[in-house]
Amino acid sequence: MAWWMSMAGFAFAADSATIVRKGNDLYRRKQYNEALKAYDRALQAQPDSNVVNFDLGAAQFKTGDFESAAKSFEKAIPTQNRSLEAQANYNLANTKYKLAGTKKEPDLAAAVSLLGESLERYKRAIELDQKDIDAKRNYELVEREYKELKEKLEKQQPQQCPKPQENKNQQDNEQEKSGRQSQEEQKSEERQEPQAQEQKTEEQKAQEREQQERQTGSGEEKEMSPQEAQMLLEGFRQEENALGKIDDLRKAGETEVKKDW
């Protein structure tokens, strides 16, 4: 019974390997949607296969489904195959970078976070394969954009609310400023009051003279003196015043299928 089950499992895996090879052939011919269907069928038989998840992630990346591609590459990483782990981390870094590009406008903070995750994956890929020149170059390019967007994000963030003591000091300053303004206004009124009183006195004198002229019945128009004309002109003046990208990554998207099985 155990032998039969072992043979059945071997046949099942062999059948999955055949499906993966078919999917890889479709992938190389750039028939990515058809390749996806093949990988999905293989994944039903081997859901934990690092190879199938890696190949599925590559096809998902090519169709622009970066969210799904990231999940597939993450499932491919826990493997004893050091080369496959390095390649999965590299492609996951590329995918995170692509995702960040879709988040710049609607959510800059999310874009910065994704670029940070991309850098971590490139770093891991370099640790696993010191000869991966593309990973090193891409790390430098993504790091540059990460710093630029992070600085932009920091400038956009609102200033922190002032502390209670700062609020109290601000209120005291405003009250002091208001008090100084009130004092200045009061002094201004005091300066204007004698002038207004003087003008009122002159008006009263003019009214008294006019009344005297009516009483005497002279009926003669009296010529305005230069002093009176100057006073009248000054009054008009007082009344008038009162109205007063980063470069394209060298291998971003080059998520090639690494093995047929």
Per-block average pLDDT, block size 10, for the chain (261 residues)? 42 73 93 95 92 93 95 95 93 95 92 96 96 93 94 78 53 63 62 56 65 53 51 39 33 47 51
| pLDDT for 44 | 92
**Locus of tokens 């005291």:** 172
Which of 98, 50, 94, 90 shows the shortest CA–CA distance to 72? 50
pTM: predicted TM-score of the whole model, two decimal places: 0.61
| pLDDT for 185 | 64
| pLDDT for 37 | 95
| pLDDT for 201 | 63
142: Cβ–Cβ under 8 A, 6 or more apart, which residues?
93, 97, 115, 118, 119, 122, 246, 249
- Classify 113 as helix, strand or coil: helix
DSSP character for 163? P
DSSP character for 188? H
**Locus of tokens 């071997």:** 10
Please check whether residue 253 is in contact with residue 62, taking contact to mean a CB–CB distance below 8 angstroms. yes
| pLDDT for 193 | 56
Give dist(CA 194, CA 230) in Å, integer. 18
The length of the chain, given as a count of residues? 261
Give dist(CA 127, CA 61) in Å, integer. 24
Q: Would you state the CATH architecture of domain 2-156?
A: Alpha Horseshoe (1.25)
Measure Cα distances from 101 to 13, 181, 246 in Å.
38, 54, 10
Domain boundaries, the chain: 2-156
| pLDDT for 7 | 38
What is the secondary structure of 11-48 as a DSSP string? HHHHHHHHHHHHHHHHHHTT-HHHHHHHHHHHHHH-TT
| pLDDT for 15 | 79
